[in-house]
Structure 1
Amino acid sequence: MAATSELITFPPAVVAAMQAELPAVAQHTVATIVVEVPSYADAFAGEMGRAISSAVELALGGFLDLATATGGVDPSRPIGPALEGAYKLGRGEARSGRSMDSLLAAYRVGARVAWRHMSDTAVAAGLTVGSLARFAELVFAYIDQLSASSVAGHTDELETTGRVRRHHRERLGAVLLAGRPVHELTAAAERADWPTPRTLTAVLLPEVRARGALGLLDARTLQVSDDPPGLDPSTELTVLLVPDAGEGARPALLRALQGRSATVGPAKPWASVAASYGRALRALRLGLVAEGPAALDTEQRLPDLVLRADDEALADLRAAALAPLDGLSGAAREKLVATLRSWLLHHGRREQVAAELFVHPQTVRYRMGQLRELFGNRLDDPQRVLELTLALGATPG
């Protein structure tokens, strides 16, 4: 409220009368708040109740300090202890999980009660009618200051607790990815005030797309942006650890991540999410990509992940298993490799092989004749068939 240079002078008799009424006004103010502000109905029974009652008495006492100030009353003059009490009250409201709505409503009730009772007392004690309007100005200017101080306390508490909680949750995400022992993870979860889920699913995606994704995911989702292990910082990727997104909930997760260039690991028990992260990271390193805007679901790419766990060993296996084709030209080799792969995966069903390759069944029969000439009885040897299946199973060609 804007400051005013006009001061109010209270006669000693008026001040004495208001001081005598102070306990009754404080009691009536608390009782009225309980009735008119429902969220405070049970608040006065415990520690919060004592804090609120003390704040009411302190606020009224601060008001009387204004009234007895030497040289008259300046409505813009701050009262330190009362403002400090209001600030602490705002912080307490934030710690209790309440918004400022209830406290501001309580201030309005308090202002009305204090004005009605103390103005009646002041007039009865001799306060002139001409001073009454300035008295009202004093009351409501004072309430404005208290309200502003409480709002500042509430805001500061939320910011402080929010920063602390974010810090602890970032730390929790880091120790989860590091695969620390369960007792360390449990302690970190308690410090972060984070209810442990049944499972966690690791998701890798560009950091610029994480904010939009978080708005669609479980509120307990953790984000790890500060140098996740094994992730090159230059990729500008972040890690999300999504609670309880396995089994029937996985399709919803994949839909939420569509169009966000995300790589999604498997759902694992929450304390074992490092395994989910490791799989998503491996898929990323292998360059696996999804079709179109869909997220890359590593659960659908398990054969690729298994077969390419050791790319050098896979290359050696392919070279040895397909050695009978070494003498062919590039185009001829490519056709026979595609035919052999389809024949193996379709268990020799010629019609299905032909449909997949968009050729006539007779063409399949002809090519398989060539392959039998080149491979001989290897195509009837279970061990050789296994080697060929592994060699050709990951990717065609």
Structure 2
Amino acid sequence: MAPRLTPAALVVPPEVVVAIRATLPTVADDVVTVIIDEVPSYTDAFSGPMGETIRSAVQVALGGFLTLVSEPRDAAQRTPAAAIEGAYQLGRGEARSGRSSEALLSAYRIGARVAWHHLSTLAVENGVDATTLAEFAQAVFFYIDELSAASVAGHGDESATAGRVRQRLLDRIARHLLTDAPEKTVVAAAERAEWAPPKSLTAVIVPESQVGSVLLLVHQGTLQTTDLPELEAAVLLLVPDVHGRRRAALLKAVEGRNCLVGPARPWLEVRSSYERARRAQERGLGGDTEEHLPELVLTADEEALADLRSAALAPLADLRPASRAKLAETLRAWLLHQGRRDDIAAALFVHPQTVRYRVAQLRELFGDKLEDPQTVLALTIALGSEPEAGTKDKDKAPD
């Protein structure tokens, strides 16, 4: 395989260089015209000052190449640093303009083709022999490769920098929302990040290993924060506008991913969604917090609940543990089934006569309080917050 020549390994006759240099404005215009025709994302890119800047860059690049091949140089010498720097900055500018690196490389390929057509024609017209022309072609395309690589590097660096800057701005919005910052502060942060506030936000706690997959399935305006000390190996996502019927799509997206989904809230009030998801996480719950509302309500104040349970079930306090458990279980079923004896018996797997016996005991212990709405409410909360006994005592004798 023949060694790859560098632009520095070739010296073009001075008269050819002069002839080519005189045509550089025309070559640059032709390059621009063909790029506009063949690369859709550049259709409007060359209008106004930006177009003149790119045309000038094309001329400078071609001029740099002619300078490179017009003087004897060490064959190991590479493309001048100034040309590489110019190409690098062009790549950064294209990233800021929103054009992809693929579009940029397409423009380079087209530019190389058009430029070579002009350069080779002039070289032949000025008597360049076939061997020199072949070396000239290698030099042209090596030079373009060097410049395009530098531009791609600049594009990637600018994209990464812009991404980091934007992520910091988005993180700031999330932080403001979670710390109850003043509305004007949050709105100003959203404006700086060019983030359009949604109608609602929903907090979703996602394991770190699942974040990438979930982000592909949710709104691109989703905020995320990874530096919350209370979330171990998990990330908080604040997902826009998945309230109402759209919630089902969110739940489907996180299904099987060990996530916790808080309620949808007006976007400035999303902290309450996060706090509910955190409470569910602390209690070992998973999935949709809306499915755990009774437990979350009943356990919102553990001490108050313990006091209520103690007061409401005081008539059972002096019984033997086994009797207390059976009567508490019967009272729970009596409340849930609104006193329907057969339904209570079926739920407890006991005979209806056993239910009748136990309810009579309860009436002796509680008296008229079982007819008092406030007492019934307190008992419902007290018994509803206790785990089901799960004892199936259909074969046991009544107390």
TM-score by length of 1: 0.89
Q: Distance in 2 between matches of 1:270 and 1:206?
A: 23
Q: Distance in 2 between matches of 1:50 and 1:192?
A: 30
* C-alpha displacement of 1:325: 0.9
For 1:147, the aligned partner's letter is S
Alignment partner, residue 164 of structure 1? 165
Alignment partner, residue 259 of structure 1? 256
Alignment partner, residue 397 of structure 2? none
Count of residue pairs the alignment pairs up: 386
Alignment partner, residue 361 of structure 2? 370
* C-alpha displacement of 1:47: 3.9
1:13-46 CA-to-partner distances (Å, cap 9, x unmatched) read 2121111122221122212222222322221113
Alignment partner, residue 325 of structure 1? 316
1:312-366 CA-to-partner distances (Å, cap 9, x unmatched) read 1211111111111122222221121112112212322333333332333333222
- Give me the CA root mean square deviation: 2.3
* C-alpha displacement of 1:132: 0.9
On the 8 A contact 2:7/2:78 being kept in 1, the answer is no
Structure 2: tracts of 5 or more residues without a match: 389-399
Pick closer, same or farther for the CA change 1:211–1:125 going to 2, 3 Å.
closer
1:300 corresponds to 2:297: no
SS at match of 1:44: coil
1:36 corresponds to 2:33: no
SS at match of 2:294: helix
Alignment partner, residue 81 of structure 1? 82
1:103-141 CA-to-partner distances (Å, cap 9, x unmatched) read 222212221221121222122223233311111111111
Q: Distance in 2 between matches of 1:75 and 1:115?
A: 23
Of 16, 19, 23, the residue aligned with 2:18 is: 16
Which stretch of structure 1 is more off in the superposition, 148-157 or 194-203?
194-203
Alignment partner, residue 128 of structure 2? 127
Of 370, 373, 380, the residue aligned with 1:379 is: 370
Alignment partner, residue 242 of structure 2? 245
Which 4+ residue blocks in structure 1 deviate beyond 6 angstroms? none
Pick closer, same or farther for the CA change 1:352–1:189 going to 2, 3 Å.
farther
Give 1:83-122 correspondences, 5 Å limit.
83-122=84-123
1:62-113 CA-to-partner distances (Å, cap 9, x unmatched) read 11211322x2585963133332222122112222222122222221222122
SS at match of 2:127: coil
Q: Distance in 2 between matches of 1:317 and 1:8?
A: 94
Pick closer, same or farther for the CA change 1:24–1:262 going to 2, 3 Å.
closer
Q: Distance in 1 between matches of 2:269 and 2:8?
A: 69
On the 8 A contact 2:39/2:107 being kept in 1, the answer is yes
Which stretch of structure 1 is more off in the superposition, 373-382 or 77-86?
77-86
For 2:38, the aligned partner's letter is E
Of 42, 47, 50, the residue aligned with 1:48 is: 50
* C-alpha displacement of 1:159: 0.9
Q: Distance in 2 between matches of 1:30 and 1:336?
A: 89
Q: Distance in 1 between matches of 2:172 and 2:303?
A: 37
Q: Distance in 2 between matches of 1:19 and 1:157?
A: 32
On the 8 A contact 2:20/2:119 being kept in 1, the answer is yes
Of 41, 58, 61, the residue aligned with 2:60 is: 58
SS at match of 1:240: strand
On the 8 A contact 1:339/1:364 being kept in 2, the answer is yes
Q: Distance in 1 between matches of 2:345 and 2:86?
A: 83
Q: Distance in 1 between matches of 2:76 and 2:130?
A: 18
SS at match of 1:301: helix
Q: Distance in 1 between matches of 2:210 and 2:112?
A: 48
Pick closer, same or farther for the CA change 1:2–1:355 going to 2, 3 Å.
farther
SS at match of 2:205: strand
SS at match of 1:218: coil
Q: Percent identity?
A: 55
On the 8 A contact 1:341/1:396 being kept in 2, the answer is no
Pick closer, same or farther for the CA change 1:148–1:9 going to 2, 3 Å.
same
Alignment partner, residue 217 of structure 1? 218
1:394 corresponds to 2:385: yes
* C-alpha displacement of 1:226: 0.8
On the 8 A contact 1:8/1:73 being kept in 2, the answer is no
Of 323, 333, 338, the residue aligned with 1:347 is: 338
Q: Distance in 2 between matches of 1:383 and 1:35?
A: 80
1:226-281 CA-to-partner distances (Å, cap 9, x unmatched) read 135xx2x6x43332212222221222322333333333221101111011111222
For 2:299, the aligned partner's letter is R
Give 1:303-314 correspondences, 5 Å limit.
303-314=294-305
Pick closer, same or farther for the CA change 1:118–1:236 going to 2, 3 Å.
closer
Give 1:178-257 correspondences, 5 Å limit.
178-228=179-229, 231=230, 235-257=232-254
* C-alpha displacement of 1:149: 1.0
